[in-house]
Chain A
Amino acid sequence: MSNITNQSLSKILESIKSKKISSLELTQAYIKNIENAKKLNAFVTTTFDQALENAKKFDNKPNNEQLLSGVPLAVKDLFCTENIKTTAGSNILNNFVPSYESTVTKNLWNNGAFLLGKLNCDEFAMGSSNETSFFGNVINPIGDHLVPGGSSGGSSSALAADLTPATIGTDTGGSIRQPASFTGTVGLKPTYGLCSRWGIVAFASSLDQAGPMTKTVNDCSIMLEAMSGFDEKDSTSINKKKETYSKNLKDNIKGLKIGIPKEYRVDNMPKEIDELWEKGKKILKDLGAQLIDISLPHTKYALPTYYIVAPAEASSNLARYDGVRYGYRSQKGKDLIEMYENTRSEGFGDEVKRRILIGTYVLSSGYYDAYYLKAQKVRQLIKKDFDDSFTKVDAILTPSTPSSAFKIGEKTNDPVSMYLNDIFTVPVNLAGLPALSLPAGSDKKGYPLGLQLIGKALDEQKILNIGYAFEKNCGYKNEVKKWWS
């Protein structure tokens, strides 16, 4: 069973259920992989002892009725885990040990999975390359000089390198879909409100949403089913009946209308992205879907809107990191105010500080109307663009990113060019919609590229179905050479 770890989650689950492999053997295999992959820097914390314990417990009394029976999972270090250090990739939470478990991770454990470790990410999920983490950058298994995307870069890297059978990330502006695209994996940002935000270190509350990152679309539906659900502790959680995404997964998409928005063809976009998009369209058309040209006229304004809304919310969400009740406290400073200023200056990294300053500025007296209020109005227009389009189509197909994985250090000195990476993913967060990034091909360097399927609110099943059909007919398989071990 040496190659169990390169199997999909659903295959692994079958092997566990049919006792081809024990939970303990599976866990040991992943631990071995993780220990061999330290170079990737995907983990901030490992919980091997606890994982082995849980695996043994499962093997002694296997319950195979659960969605994730006996499976170890590593999760992004933005989810608070009870009695396990939770850092959000920041120095300011470097020593923080929550006494509570996030709803989403609790849902995973209640479905039979257990924790393998905490995955590196951009500091407070602010970044597109996992280079802002206090714990160092993460390396893309595709190549030792490449970023894994961000902010869920530890998650994408660990998944692609077979260090976890599936994982979860959070997506505020593309933080699941862009790293999935960069590593040739599947990533889903669910409808805002489908997964509880309770216990997830907040970045921008009106945009943050947790979602699965997996090797296949079927895995994605299993994980989504396990992690989602109404939570009365989150006032923005949607109260609806739980769906069985994996059982309902169908590959018949005949007659579905797929919107192709003309605004997603941007200046200087590599020809390969355009060709990939054409390929995607052809696959769906061949499967019987109907392609319809649509317009999302305010697409161009999504990123500037995002860079007002997200930093504004973040500046307020991150005010609680003041060195009083938890986390890092500077020893410098003669009074409370100086203690705050030094704690936050030493505790936060440059990108986080930059965004806090942007957010503070756009909310400050005299500027609120010009920036924040303006952005809330444009956000309304962006939402309306989607609402209008979804009266005509079932889903929308776009590229996931405007490029493949870039080099480490390539964009760190130019924040705007870094931000532009999220140009195709951000509109979806602003509109609160679900979107799935699928591996669809590679560029001439052999780096993976993804396509994005955007659905109506709560229409996850439909985009999973389209993705499932696409995956079967795409003929692309992401091969990762294990150069690090």
Chain B
Amino acid sequence: MSLDKEKIKHVAKLARISVDEAKVDSLTKDLNSIFKFIEQLNELNTDKVKPLTSILNQSLRSRKDEISDGKIREKILKNSPKKNEEFFVVPKVVE
């Protein structure tokens, strides 16, 4: 299959990356060559193969239900590009 510009723009929207109009052509070319390479997999019949969900053959380990974290607001907010004393601050969201 081939990826057209519209599809790429849609995917970029999903990924929240704005795409420079001037770069769309070269991006389209690159992605199509990568997908052509990827699609070698279609040579293989995998109808009866179980997908691999985890490379480790063990069950999920769990932890005890104890409060052992939090109360570090300063550390949490320290790196934020925009914040006040209590909150992260972002441009207005319209629902």
Contacts and interface: CB of A to CB of B under 8 A. Distances in A.
Contact of B55 (A319, A381, A383, A415): A383
A269 interface: no
A432 B56 CA distance: 8
Contacts of A307: 34, 37-38
Interface stretch (A138-146, A153-161, A368-376, A442-450): A368-376
Query: Is the interface on chain B under 10, 10 to 19, 20 to 34, or 35 or more residues?
Result: 35 or more
A376 B52 contact: yes
B93 A329 contact: no
A342 B27 CA distance: 18
A389 interface: no
B84 interface: no
B14 A364 contact: yes
Given A300-B40, A324-B88, A432 B55 contact: yes
A192 B57 CA distance: 11
Nearest to A339: B91
Given A304-B37, A335-B93, A361 B44 contact: no
A308 B38 contact: yes
Interface string B1-43: 0010001100110111111100000010011011101111110
Given A307-B34, A354-B27, A206 B55 contact: yes
Contacts of B55: 192, 206, 383, 430-432
B34 A379 contact: no
Interface stretch (A58-66, A232-240, A243-251): A232-240
B31 A354 contact: yes
Interface string A159-197: 000000000000000000000000000000000110000
A256 interface: no
A353 B31 CA distance: 11
A380 interface: yes
A415 B17 contact: no
B60 interface: yes
Contacts, number: 155
Interface string B58-85: 1011010000000010011011111000
A327 interface: yes
B17 to A, nearest CB: 5
Given A328-B81, A354-B30, A193 B56 contact: yes
B90 to A, nearest CB: 6
A342 B18 contact: yes
Given A238-B56, A345-B18, A360-B14, A96 B31 contact: no
B50 A315 contact: no
Q: Which of A329, A357, A360 has the most CB of B within 10 A?
A: A357
Contacts of A239: 61
Contacts of A235: 60-61
Nearest to A346: B18
Nearest to B92: A335
Contacts of A337: 16
B49 A377 contact: yes
A20 interface: no
A301 B40 contact: yes
Given A301-B44, A307-B34, A361-B3, A335 B91 contact: yes
Given A301-B44, A341-B16, A416-B37, A357 B31 contact: yes
Nearest to A97: B79
Contacts of A323: 81
A371 B38 contact: yes
Contacts of B91: 333-336, 338-339
Interface in A265-317: 298, 300-301, 303-305, 307-308, 315
A124 interface: no
A189 to B, nearest CB: 13
A301 B45 CA distance: 12
Contact of B92 (A326, A336, A432): A336
Given A374-B42, A415-B33, 11 more contacts: A235-B61, A301-B41, A308-B41, A326-B80, A341-B17, A345-B17, A356-B17, A374-B41, A381-B49, A416-B33, A430-B55
What are the 7 tightest A-B residue pairs by CB atom distance, in nearest-first order? A326-B79, A376-B51, A329-B81, A432-B55, A341-B18, A377-B46, A377-B49
20 contacts: A99-B75, A238-B56, A303-B37, A304-B38, A307-B38, A324-B81, A335-B92, A335-B94, A338-B91, A339-B91, A345-B18, A348-B17, A354-B27, A354-B34, A358-B35, A364-B14, A378-B41, A416-B33, A416-B34, A416-B37
Interface of B: 3, 7-8, 11-12, 14-20, 27, 30-31, 33-35, 37-42, 44, 46, 49-56, 58, 60-61, 63, 72, 75-76, 78-82, 88, 90-94
Interface of A: 95-97, 99, 192-193, 206, 232, 235-236, 238-239, 298, 300-301, 303-305, 307-308, 315, 319, 322-329, 333-342, 344-345, 348, 353-354, 356-358, 360-361, 364, 371, 373-381, 383, 414-416, 419, 430-432
